[in-house]
Amino acid sequence: MSDPVPALVTLHLWRVAPAAVPRAVLRMGSDRPRVRRTPGLRFAKLLGTGDGRTFTARDADVRRWGLLATWTSSDAAREFEHRSPVAAAWRRLADESWRVDLRPVASRGTWSGRQPFGDPVPVRSDGPVAALTRARLRPSSALSFWRSVPPVSADLRGRPGLRAAVGIGEAPLGLQGTFSLWESGAAVREFARAPAHAAVVARTAPERWYAEELFARFDVVGSTGTLDGRDPLA
C-alpha cells in the first residue's frame, strides 16, 4: 500500500538512565495503541536501537529508544510534540533526547506491507541529508547476512561526511535497519559506491536475504536536542 508523500517525517531518539530501562521497555508496549490514535499520524514505528555493527542482539542499546512517524502536516507533528501524553512521558523518562525533521526525496520498497514515505520524485540536495534502510530477514539467510555486515559497518563509520549513524529495529533479531545522517547527498553516494557496500548490494538478490526491504533518503529540515551529547548538525 502506497501512502501519499508525507508533509513531514520525524525521528525521535530518547536515551534513558540505566535505572529507567525497565520503564522504557514497558513504554514500548503500552505506547503503541496510544501512538496509533494520534491525529494527523499516517505511519509510526516504535524502535529499539543499537550500534549496527553486526545487526545481532549483542548490538542492542537498551538505553536508547526511538519513534519514527510520518505526518499529514507539520502542525500535527507539532501538536504531538507539545500536547501528546506519549511525548510528555518520554521527555520525563529520558536524560537525553534528539528529534530530527525530515522531508522524503526518494523511497523504494515496503515496510510492513506499506510504502510509508510515498513515491517522492528523487531530487539532489546541497544540504544535510538522511538515509534510512530497513529489512526483514529470511530466517534461512540470516547467518549469511550477519557475516556480511561488519565490513560495511566499519566502512560506514569511517566515511567522510557522516554526521551520525544509529542501528534501528522493531525486534532484537530479524527486523533491522540503519538511520544515518550525512553532510551532503554526495557523501551518501560516495558510500553507496564504496567496494564494501557495493559488494553487499550485489549479493542481496542472488542470496535472497530479505523478505521485505526499504531504502529512503530525506532532506533534513531541522533538529532539536542532542545525540550522545552533541548536535549532529552543528
CATH number at residue 30: 3.30.70.100
pLDDT in tens, 139-159: 766 666 666 665 566 667 677
Is 175 part of a structural domain of the chain? yes
- What's the pLDDT score for residue 215? 93
Measure the CA–CA gap between 107 and 218, rounded to whole angstroms.
9
* pLDDT value of position 174: 47
| Model pLDDT, residue 100 | 98
Question: What is the residue range of 133's domain?
Answer: 8-223
Q: Is residue 232 part of a domain?
A: no
Residue 228 lies in a domain: no
Burial of 92 per CB tally in 10 Å (0-12, 13-18, 19+): exposed
Residue with cell 510504502: 115
Q: How many domains does the chain have?
A: 1
pLDDT at 175: 56
Helix (H, G, I), strand (E, B) or coil at 73: coil
Would 60 be classed as within a structural domain?
yes
Domain-embedded: residue 231 = no
State pLDDT tens for residues 58-67: 678 999 999 9
Q: Which residues contact 15 (CB under 8 A, 6 or more apart)?
A: 63, 64, 94, 95, 96, 97
Per-residue model confidence (pLDDT) at position 152: 61
CA–CA separation, 147 and 86 (whole Å): 38
Note down pLDDT in tens along the chain; length 234 residues: 678 999 999 999 999 999 999 999 999 989 999 999 999 999 999 999 987 554 555 678 999 999 999 999 999 999 999 999 999 999 999 999 999 999 999 999 999 999 999 999 888 778 999 999 998 877 766 666 666 665 566 667 677 889 999 989 886 554 578 899 999 989 888 887 776 666 666 676 666 777 899 999 999 999 999 999 999 998
Q: Residue 55: inside a domain, yes or no?
A: yes
